Structure 1
């Protein structure tokens, strides 16, 4: 029975997440990847109340462009940018020329994990206060 609950939770969250991002091109892939990572986590536990509240939150984000929609949009865009930056760093920095003809790496400074600590704490506090399971 637990496997059936897990499958239903995944499907409900995926469907609500896709509606929340309105099936947009980068958004649907970010939602899919985040759900896959969350459900493949060996230390994760299924909390039906948190899943239900998260589904309500995502459905609210889909219905109106209010605070829920802005939160989901920002989470998706930050996650997309982080993944793009990680892929860029894996392929190496691009090199551009400055005004004096000197080579310089582009982007000038790369974003490391320390800049996102406050962001991750904010998401964790939002999850705790509202009983959600956003990643």
Structure 2
């Protein structure tokens, strides 16, 4: 089923608004979620778009913005890990074995996020 450009734009805007509310417009977090959302929409295939997953994801972010429960903690950790990925390591940590350990940890983290998406029907990238 083909998805119209209007539906994609509306989904992007809804996700972005709910993400900003969930991170409470805090400075480093809002830029991280903006960049991740842009990247996800630019690099995704429009045929894989599922409005039901987007609706559940918006509901998840709404829950994160309403209380400091499990949704808030998950989103906070997702943003923190993404911030760590974007931040270059210090000179003392530039050893090769450290880089391999970081890559292995991020691989495990990505697999955990994928399992979360599958089990809850979300589209967090």
TM-score, reference length from structure 1: 0.81
2:57 and 2:113 mapped to 1: Cα distance?
Answer: 13
Indicate the SS of the match to 2:43.
coil
Aligned residues: 118
**Which one of the candidate residues 103, 115, 121 is aligned to 1:113?**
103
**Which one of the candidate residues 70, 80, 84 is aligned to 1:81?**
84
Match for residue 115 of structure 2? 125
Deviations 1:48-74 (A, max 9, x none): 000000000000000000000000000
Alignment RMSD (CA, Å): 1.7
Q: Which has the higher strand share?
A: 1
The alpha-carbon deviation at position 107 of structure 1 amounts to: 2.4
Match for residue 29 of structure 1? 31
Contiguous gaps of at least 5 residues in structure 2: none
Instruction: Report which structure shows greater RCO (CA 8 Å, sep ≥6).
Output: 2
Match for residue 49 of structure 2? 46
- Which stretches of structure 1, 4 residues or more, deviate above 4 A after TM superposition? none
Q: Is 1:72 aligned with 2:75?
A: yes
Bigger radius of gyration among the two = 1
Q: Which has the higher helix share?
A: 2
Contiguous gaps of at least 5 residues in structure 1: 95-105
